[in-house]
Amino acid sequence: NSQNINIDTTDTLLSIQNQSPTKDLVIDRLIFTSGDVSHRFEVFKITADYTPTGTAVPGVALGPRGGSGTTSAVAKSDETGVDQVAANVFMEVSLATLITIEVDCGLVLGGGEGIGVDQIGEGAVAACMAFGYFVDRK
């Protein structure tokens, strides 16, 4: 969750990296909310090795087993360690002012893999929330 944040123009709104050596992270939906201006959100695969930097976004376990596995993923907002490569953008969501949309995606991140969410049309506030779960790697 990276909520109500005014990020720097060149920073990534939200990055998520799976750091589990034995489990895949399945991101099954993303929720986007535009802020005070129209936004286009671009979701991209991070292909370069990187160390996540920025403001920590702690995982919240919503399942019946509590916090199991939440430390195996690292999420950062106002992220500065990643540069978007246009060829790696796989989803774009455009929203008018103050609109929320939920997108089902079923994205699987293996160990060390990550995604980023950039906002185009930088306003004072915007939000992106990711929901996912871990599965044993095959």
pLDDT score for 7: 54
pLDDT score for 1: 43
User: For every residue of 45-100, which 3-state class applies, written as one string?
Assistant: EECCCCCCCCEECCCCCCCCCCCCCHHHEEEEEEECCCCCCHHHEEEEEEECCCCE
Q: Within 10 Å of residue 38's Cβ, how many Cβ atoms? A: 15
**Tens digits of residue pLDDT in 47-72:** 877 777 888 888 887 777 665 556 78
User: The whole model's pTM is what?
Assistant: 0.84
Residue bearing the bigger pLDDT, 4 or 85: 85
Does the residue 50 lie in any domain? yes
Q: Which domain holds residue 35?
A: 12-136
Does the residue 4 lie in any domain? no
As a whole number of angstroms, the distance between CA 43 and CA 85 comes to: 11
**Tens digits of residue pLDDT in 88-115:** 888 989 899 889 999 999 899 999 999 9
Pairing state between β 89-95 and 39-46: antiparallel
pLDDT score for 27: 95
The residues, any chain, with a CB within 8 Å of residue 88's CB and separated by 6 or more, are: 44, 45, 46, 47
112: nearest Cα among 17, 16, 12:
17
Count of the separate structural domains present in the chain: 1
As a whole number of angstroms, the distance between CA 23 and CA 14 comes to: 21
33: nearest Cα among 76, 86, 107, 93:
93
Does the residue 127 lie in any domain? yes
Residue bearing the bigger pLDDT, 2 or 119: 119
- Report the percentage of the chain scoring pLDDT > 90: 32
Residue bearing the bigger pLDDT, 66 or 85: 85
Does the residue 2 lie in any domain? no
pLDDT score for 9: 57
Does the residue 98 lie in any domain? yes
Does the residue 130 lie in any domain? yes
Does the residue 79 lie in any domain? yes
Question: Residue 103 forms beta bridges with which residues?
Answer: 30
Does the residue 94 lie in any domain? yes
pLDDT surpasses 60 at 8:
no
